[in-house]
Structure 1
Amino acid sequence: MAHDDPHALDRSYQAPAGLSVDVSDPAQNPGLPPHRERITDEDPKAMETAARTVYTLFYLSLAGSIWAVAAYMLFPIESGSLVDVRYNNLFIGLGIALALLALGVGAIHWSKAIMSDKEHIEYRHPTRGRDSVREASIQAFAAANEESGFGRRKMIRNSLIAAVIASVVPGLALFRGLAPHSTAANPIAGDPVQLLKHTMWDKGMRLTRDPDGTPIRAADVVLGSAVHVIPEPLSKLGHEDGYLEEKAKAIVLLIRLLPEQLKESAERKAWSYNGIVAYSKVCTHVGCPVALYEQQTHHLLCPCHQSQFDVTEAAKVIFGPAARPLPQLPIAVDDEGYLIAQSDFHEPVGPSFWERH
């Protein structure tokens, strides 16, 4: 039987033999349980106390954000001091944690104790772009504003806005540490071209194993091997003397192939020794360490974004987002058979950037 009302009861239903079904009185909607008033609904003083708690938490969040920025400046990681680095991480972390925790707790307490908690039913209806729908939307926003008190409780509103805005400030301030800054003692520190153009490598400097600083004899480099290499003076530097900063620029990967496998230009024929070549280990995409060597294909792989470089052809890019080959370190052998650098790299190491010509 067809009915105009899809929810109408089908009284034509026949129960199986021996089973009686009463279809005369369908189940009724029991409705909502009685509303329980909160303390803040019954006591104006409790409501004001809750409001003070909320905006106090929001202002506490604001203070946490300000403290995180202040800690970033009070304990600069650029100083190189391990104490400053520890305090920088500790106090910035505490400031950001306080800012986000107080903001979250304040928002939850606001919704639990102050906003209207009366139950209501929202019936579904077709969504259409009519004027009545727009008017209903405006009324809904007005009702939400009235129930939450956002428009009339200025202290809560203003403290919330201030806390939300301030919560992103520590993150913005931390971007400052991503780039070095020029100083009177180091005027090129803010120039990435000059900063990455020169490393510790110099003429006659021995290649040594990372990290123990053992000099490397050419005869000891096995065919198909890949050795991580640092300049000899670097192993004598302490961490307080810029060891990590210098190593990040000067780290090299030493590889030995058959001499006939190298496809060298006339300019670079003297940069290798008996099939041994040295390339910067710093990827020219975003600076990740290139350390995966495929012995059979002679490809170097960057694990971060899958750039690949061909060792046999001056480490040219054959796949991935890297924009240029890995810089090559010219090498030779001294009178004792140890591998040495002929000079520094002939181009900046590290990521490509728009300032580089």
Structure 2
Amino acid sequence: MSNHDSGHEATTDVALRDTTGPDRFEDPGHPEHHPRLGDNDPKANKKAERQVVFLFTISILGTLAFIVAYFAFPPGTSPETMRRSNITLGLSMAFALLGIGTAAVHWAKALMNDHEKSEERHAQRSTDETREAAVEVLKEGAADSAIGRRGVLKVSMIGALALFPLSIVLPLIGNIGEDWDVSKFKRTMWRKGLKLTTDPDGRPIKASDVTIGSVFHVIPEGLHEKPHPLDEKAKSVVLLVRLAPEDLKEAPDREGWSYNGIVAYSKICTHVGCPVALYEQQTHHLLCPCHQSTFDVADGAKVVFGPAKRPLPQLPITVDDEGYLVAQSDFHEPIGPSFWERLK
């Protein structure tokens, strides 16, 4: 017999064996159940209960620490106070959440029934009898957790779950430094005749000082004299760029918003509000370092790449009698990312 014939017969035998296999495998059933230490030892069971209570207590203390930190360490306006507030609030909330989560997991693994169960698959809509049976199963689960007989456990759980929402609600209802007037995002410091000045020293900028390809980080004149200069700066910062006039594409409704190729756009990214500040002179592209949204400065700061959905708002500018760059008006649209009352 040739090697070819032998290989053909072997292939046929394999095919025959494959077709004679069983259609279904026998259900092996559940693996052998191994009781936990707490199932047979009341002391171990009580110890597990105390551990769950301890974890819920950690959550309660974490929530109380959050409340104290919220009032004791307000964010303020300096980087140091903001960092201190974020760290204390973040750590306390972490303990509040971690306590509840680990307590729930440990309760289920150490105290509740751990016998494996299986059910036959059934139609999606259960019968009334099945639904009544489901209610009984829920009651059985409540009885299995022994929540009715474990008073301390129940009190600690209820205390942790009842107090934790305060860490979410408190910042919403507190009036310390809170301002929910979203209309303020629709306007900034800029107004007609206000000079463009360099950030951070506040030096007025002459049009003659801006050469083609140069970039200026700009703030409004008099920003540092405002009661809350950082709040105003967060809305009013501008990036000033000069292009060759022939490279600039101006929409009909924006004619006259630039001056001899000098354009000014908001530095606040329209995606999530990061500062847009990386300018590429050859392509006229402006990049946001956070999520790589890219805007075309030569064409109305339109989005050419990335998650941002809208162009950067443009600040209309001109020059005054002394040759200094000044604003023609405020932005004609809200700056920054979307919010719930925004029309554009």
The answer to whether the superposition gives a TM-score over 0.5 is: yes
Q: Which amino acid aligns with 2:74?
A: P
3-state SS of 2:330 partner: coil
- Show structure 2 runs of 5+ residues with no match: 1-16
3-state SS of 2:168 partner: helix
- In 2 relative to 1, CA 287–160 (structure 1 residues): closer, same or farther, beyond 3 Å? same
Q: Which residue of 1 aligns with 2:122?
A: 128
3-state SS of 2:274 partner: coil
Q: For each residue in 1:215-264, what CA deviation from the matched residue of structure 2 results, as whole angstroms up to 9, or x when unmatched?
A: 54534433234332234545xx49x9644323212211111122233344
Q: Which residue of 2 aligns with 1:20?
A: none
Q: Which residue of 1 aligns with 2:164?
A: 167
Question: Following TM superposition, by how much is the alpha carbon of 1:110 offset from its aligned partner in structure 2, in angstroms?
Answer: 3.2
Q: Which residue of 2 aligns with 1:24?
A: none
Q: Is 2:218 aligned against 1:229?
A: yes
Q: How many angstroms apart in 1 are the aligned matches of 2:176 and 2:288?
A: 23
Q: Which residue of 2 aligns with 1:42?
A: 41
Question: Following TM superposition, by how much is the alpha carbon of 1:108 offset from its aligned partner in structure 2, in angstroms?
Answer: 4.9
Q: What number of residue pairs does the alignment pair up?
A: 318
Q: Is the 8 A contact 1:61 1:99 kept in 2?
A: yes
Q: Is the 8 A contact 2:313 2:331 kept in 1?
A: no
Question: Following TM superposition, by how much is the alpha carbon of 1:156 offset from its aligned partner in structure 2, in angstroms?
Answer: 2.1
Question: Following TM superposition, by how much is the alpha carbon of 1:68 offset from its aligned partner in structure 2, in angstroms?
Answer: 1.2
Q: For each residue in 1:52-85, what CA deviation from the matched residue of structure 2 results, as whole angstroms up to 9, or x when unmatched?
A: 55335424423422431343234332x4366754
Question: Following TM superposition, by how much is the alpha carbon of 1:347 offset from its aligned partner in structure 2, in angstroms?
Answer: 3.1
- In 2 relative to 1, CA 107–348 (structure 1 residues): closer, same or farther, beyond 3 Å? same
Q: For each residue in 1:3-38, what CA deviation from the matched residue of structure 2 results, as whole angstroms up to 9, or x when unmatched?
A: 999779xxxxxxxxxxxxxxxxxxxx9x84875744
- In 2 relative to 1, CA 260–58 (structure 1 residues): closer, same or farther, beyond 3 Å? same
Q: Which amino acid aligns with 1:127?
A: R
3-state SS of 1:253 partner: strand
Question: Following TM superposition, by how much is the alpha carbon of 1:145 offset from its aligned partner in structure 2, in angstroms?
Answer: 3.7
Question: Following TM superposition, by how much is the alpha carbon of 1:50 offset from its aligned partner in structure 2, in angstroms?
Answer: 4.7
Q: Which amino acid aligns with 2:330?
A: F
Q: How many angstroms apart in 2 are the aligned matches of 1:32 and 1:283?
A: 60
Q: Is the 8 A contact 2:53 2:153 kept in 1?
A: yes
Question: Following TM superposition, by how much is the alpha carbon of 1:146 offset from its aligned partner in structure 2, in angstroms?
Answer: 4.0
Counterpart pick for 2:195 among 205, 227, 242: 205
Q: Which residue of 1 aligns with 2:207?
A: 218
Q: Is 2:230 aligned against 1:244?
A: yes
Q: For each residue in 1:145-191, what CA deviation from the matched residue of structure 2 results, as whole angstroms up to 9, or x when unmatched?
A: 44432344344235324423533442344456899645xxxxxxx43
3-state SS of 1:277 partner: strand
- Which range moved further: 128-137 or 320-329? 128-137
Counterpart pick for 2:59 among 58, 61, 73: 61
Q: Is 2:182 aligned against 1:192?
A: yes
Q: How many angstroms apart in 2 are the aligned matches of 1:253 and 1:181?
A: 29
Q: Is the 8 A contact 2:197 2:221 kept in 1?
A: yes
Question: Following TM superposition, by how much is the alpha carbon of 1:322 offset from its aligned partner in structure 2, in angstroms?
Answer: 3.7
Q: Which amino acid aligns with 1:170?
A: S
- In 2 relative to 1, CA 191–324 (structure 1 residues): closer, same or farther, beyond 3 Å? farther
Q: Which residue of 2 aligns with 1:341?
A: 326
Question: Following TM superposition, by how much is the alpha carbon of 1:279 offset from its aligned partner in structure 2, in angstroms?
Answer: 1.7
3-state SS of 2:59 partner: helix
Q: Which residue of 1 aligns with 2:96?
A: 99
Counterpart pick for 1:326 among 288, 313, 329: 313
Q: For each residue in 1:319-353, what CA deviation from the matched residue of structure 2 results, as whole angstroms up to 9, or x when unmatched?
A: 76545651314132664x6x431455243541354
Q: How many angstroms apart in 2 are the aligned matches of 1:154 and 1:257?
A: 74
Q: Is the 8 A contact 2:190 2:331 kept in 1?
A: no
3-state SS of 2:314 partner: coil
Q: How many angstroms apart in 1 are the aligned matches of 2:34 and 2:51?
A: 28
Q: How many angstroms apart in 2 are the aligned matches of 1:47 and 1:257?
A: 76
- In 2 relative to 1, CA 143–172 (structure 1 residues): closer, same or farther, beyond 3 Å? same
Q: Which residue of 1 aligns with 2:244?
A: 258
Question: Following TM superposition, by how much is the alpha carbon of 1:274 offset from its aligned partner in structure 2, in angstroms?
Answer: 2.0
Q: Which residue of 2 aligns with 1:185?
A: none
Q: Is the 8 A contact 2:215 2:241 kept in 1?
A: yes
Q: How many angstroms apart in 1 are the aligned matches of 2:342 and 2:22?
A: 75
Q: How many angstroms apart in 1 are the aligned matches of 2:280 and 2:79?
A: 38
Q: Which residue of 1 aligns with 2:9?
A: none
Question: Following TM superposition, by how much is the alpha carbon of 1:293 offset from its aligned partner in structure 2, in angstroms?
Answer: 4.0
- In 2 relative to 1, CA 194–86 (structure 1 residues): closer, same or farther, beyond 3 Å? closer
3-state SS of 1:224 partner: coil
Q: TM-score, normalised by structure 1?
A: 0.65
Q: How many angstroms apart in 1 are the aligned matches of 2:120 and 2:327?
A: 78
Calculate percent identity across the aligned residue pairs. 40
Q: Which residue of 2 aligns with 1:75?
A: 73
Q: Is the 8 A contact 1:280 1:349 kept in 2?
A: no
Q: Is the 8 A contact 1:207 1:215 kept in 2?
A: yes
Counterpart pick for 2:277 among 275, 278, 291: 291
